[in-house]
Amino acid sequence: MSVAGTYECVTKTPMGDQKSDVTIVVDGDTFTGSNVGAMGSMDLENGKVDGNKLTWSMKMTVPMPMTLEGEATVDGDVLTGSVKAGAFGTFPMNGTRKG
């Protein structure tokens, strides 16, 4: 099963649970997409697909400019991973494929 799709995700951060829709558009062994939530929208950049493992980066602007690094594994319709926010640490991210 492809890792492509839209996932309803929750990232556990110091500012509380951040809910977002993560959309993954696969092109061979790379992908693009977006992470859209209450804090705005971020493009998924430098996306790499290795089997069911994903890695990417995204540029956050709110509440402060920072590049976030994401990694996740997709197992069926479940996405499990983390987002690294520089010196602030790494936060768990979990999601379920929509539709």
DSSP 25-52: EEETTEEEEEEEETTEEEEEEEEEEETT
Structure tokens at 67: 């590049």
**Any idea which residue has 């092109």 for tokens?**
27
pLDDT of residue 64: 87
**pLDDT tens for each residue of 35-62:** 999 888 999 999 999 999 999 999 998 8
Looking at the DSSP bridge assignments, the partners of residue 32 are 25
How are beta strands 40-50 and 30-37 bridged, if at all? antiparallel
Is residue 1 scored above 80 in pLDDT?
A: no
Is residue 14 scored above 90 in pLDDT?
A: no
pLDDT of residue 44: 98
How are beta strands 66-75 and 16-27 bridged, if at all? unpaired
